Every structure is written in C-alpha cells, then in structure tokens.
C-alpha cells in the first residue's frame, strides 16, 4: 500500500506544488491522476520514487516512510517502483534487448551489467516481456529505429523486467497519436493486471482516463479535489476537477476497437 499523509511540496522558488495530500492507494489498483497542466500530477507521481522530495508529511510505501530514505534505501525503492516516461527514456544507440535488460540493473552487479554479462535467465525474461507487449521481433533492432509507440512498448517491457511492485507512468501516451495511445494503454493495463502491479498513471485526456482507470484522482492547484472509483465519474466530475467546462481539446478520441 502507498499512503500519503499530509504531504506538501514547496519548490525552492517558493511555488507550492502539492498541498496537504492525503491518499491511500491499495496494492494492485490502476489509478489515473487527472488535472490541468500545472495541477501537480508530475509532482505527485514523482514523489513516490523520490524524484522530487516533499517538504512536509509522510509517504508510506509498505509502511516505510520513503521521505526519510537515504541513498541506499532509495536505490532499493527505485527497483521496487518502476517508471515510464512520456519520452520513453531508451538508450537510442543500443538494441531493444539491451534496453530491456537495463531493467535488471538493480538486480545484477553493476560491473557485470556494464560488460553486458547478463545471466541467460535474465535474457530469456527480457525476451518474454518483449513478447508480452508484442514486440519480440524487434529485440535486436536499435532502439532509435522504432516508432514512438514501439519505443513506449519497449519501455513497458523494461519496467516489467525490473519486476517492480509499483509502476508510475508520467503522461505515457502524450507523444503518441490516438490509435497508438490506446494500444499502449491497453498493453499497460493488461500487463499490470496480469502481474497484479499497483499502477499510477498521469493522463490529461479525460476519455483516456475514463476508459482505463479503476479509480480517478483529480488534482487542482496542488490539491486533491476528487478521489473515487471510475463508476462514480461523469463529465461533471471532470468539469469540477478542471474548474471549467470540458472542451474538445480535453478528449483524445480515436479508439477504433
């Protein structure tokens, strides 16, 4: 379980990114965070792996307050909490397989992995994870030869290879066209269900949020203004979260399946 207790984050310039957040996220939930640009979605998600550090409160991950963690504990935390980025963050000149094997870095000795000496079982595991996101045949292709949607599927395979308990995804489909966005979100939802992973995704399109979330958390100006299961969410909910009527730009569209 992930628990936020009175969490606030004030950036060094004085900007209040998060204001007194209280949340409990249960194991295996697929949660989507929504809110306008600047609402605090990235700040919230990045607090959970301490890419940013809240200035007040506690964040308990499996009952341990990660805000107090030192470098050693943070390394372990970041093995257990995997991350998917909008920009994929692959090493472009390396093969897809090497990128996916990077997910093992927290498990394999650094020298061995720098030399590319991954155990055969890790290589097989990486290939199996590429297969789960239907991109197995690209294993030996350089990462920069792939389309954006393919690269994001590689980054899903990488995070699975890390064997995390939690996946954080910060606007994972914001750089993709509508049909590709849906394919990537379907893959992410399916694998996280199959492995019972807690998954927390930032999305700014409300139709995507409605289609994939089990639960929606709405942020405005750094505060939680809505938190509830997807069957309680209507267009009015989004209007309340956004503080204005819904516009066409708030919808992605394009799910043909």
Nearer to ligand ATP, 195 or 223 (CB): 223
Nearer to ligand ATP, 39 or 208 (CB): 39
Q: Interface with ligand ATP includes 103 (CB under 6 A)?
A: no
Pairing type for strands 16-25 and 198-202 reads unpaired
Candidates 32-40, 116-124, 159-167, 175-183; binding stretch for ligand ATP (CB under 6 A): 32-40
Nearer to ligand ATP, 16 or 108 (CB): 16
Nearer to ligand ATP, 37 or 120 (CB): 37
Scanning residues 163 to 222, which ones bind ligand ATP (CB under 6 A)?
A: 204
Per CB under 6 A, the list member of 6, 15, 128, 243 interacting with ligand ATP is 15
Query: Minimum CB separation from ligand ATP for residue 10, in Å?
Result: 9
Query: Minimum CB separation from ligand ATP for residue 40, in Å?
Result: 4
Give one DSSP letter per residue of 35-51, joined into a string: -STTSSHHHHHHHTTTS
Tokens 């093995």, located at residue: 79
Tokens of 248: 């066409």
Q: Which stretch of DSSP H or E encloses residue 105?
A: none
Scanning residues 34 to 73, which ones bind ligand ATP (CB under 6 A)?
A: 35, 37-43
The answer to whether the CB of 182 falls within 8 A of the CB of 254 is yes
Per CB under 6 A, the list member of 11, 145, 234, 235 interacting with ligand ATP is 11
Tokens of 39: 């609402």
Nearer to ligand ATP, 43 or 199 (CB): 43
From its phi and psi, is residue 71 left (phi > 0), alpha (psi between -120 and 50) or beta? alpha
The answer to whether the CB of 81 falls within 8 A of the CB of 31 is no
Number of residues that bind ligand ATP (CB under 6 A): 13
- Provide the 10 A C-beta neighbour count for residue 112: 13
Candidates 31-39, 71-79, 91-99, 183-191; binding stretch for ligand ATP (CB under 6 A): 31-39
Rounded CA gap, 30 and 215, in Å?
7
Candidates 12-20, 58-66, 123-131, 143-151; binding stretch for ligand ATP (CB under 6 A): 12-20
Cα 220 to the chain's mean position, in Å?
Answer: 20
Least Cα distance to 135 among 150, 145, 114, 123 occurs for 150
Q: What residue ranges bind ligand ATP (CB under 6 A)?
A: 11, 13, 15, 17, 35, 37-43, 204
């Amino acid at each position: 379980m992930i628990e936020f207790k009175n969490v606030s984050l004030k950036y060094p310039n004085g900007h209040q990114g998060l204001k007194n957040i209280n949340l409990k996220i249960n194991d295996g939930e697929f949660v989507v965070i929504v809110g306008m640009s600047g609402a605090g979605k990235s700040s919230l998600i990045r607090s959970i792996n301490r890419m940013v550090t809240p200035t007040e409160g506690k964040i308990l991950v499996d009952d341990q307050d990660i805000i107090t963690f030192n470098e050693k504990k943070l390394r372990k935390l970041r093995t257990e909490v995997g991350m998917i980025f909008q920009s994929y963050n692959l090493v472009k000149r390396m093969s897809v397989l090497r990128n996916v094997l990077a997910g093992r870095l927290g498990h394999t000795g650094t020298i061995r992995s720098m030399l590319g000496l991954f155990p055969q079982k890790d290589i097989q595991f990486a290939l199996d994870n590429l297969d789960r996101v239907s991109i197995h045949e690209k294993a030996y292709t350089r990462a920069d030869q792939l389309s954006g949607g393919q690269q994001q599927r590689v980054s899903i395979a990488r995070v699975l290879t890390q064997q995390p308990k939690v996946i954080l995804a910060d606007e994972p489909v914001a750089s993709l066209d509508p049909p590709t966005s849906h394919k990537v979100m379907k893959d992410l939802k399916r694998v996280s269900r199959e492995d019972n992973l807690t998954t927390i995704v930032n999305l700014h399109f409300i139709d995507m949020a409605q289609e994939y979330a089990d639960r929606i958390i709405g942020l405005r100006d750094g505060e939680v203004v809505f938190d509830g299961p997807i069957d309680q969410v209507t267009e009015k909910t989004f209007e309340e979260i956004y503080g204005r009527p819904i516009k066409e730009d708030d919808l992605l569209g394009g799910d043909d399946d």
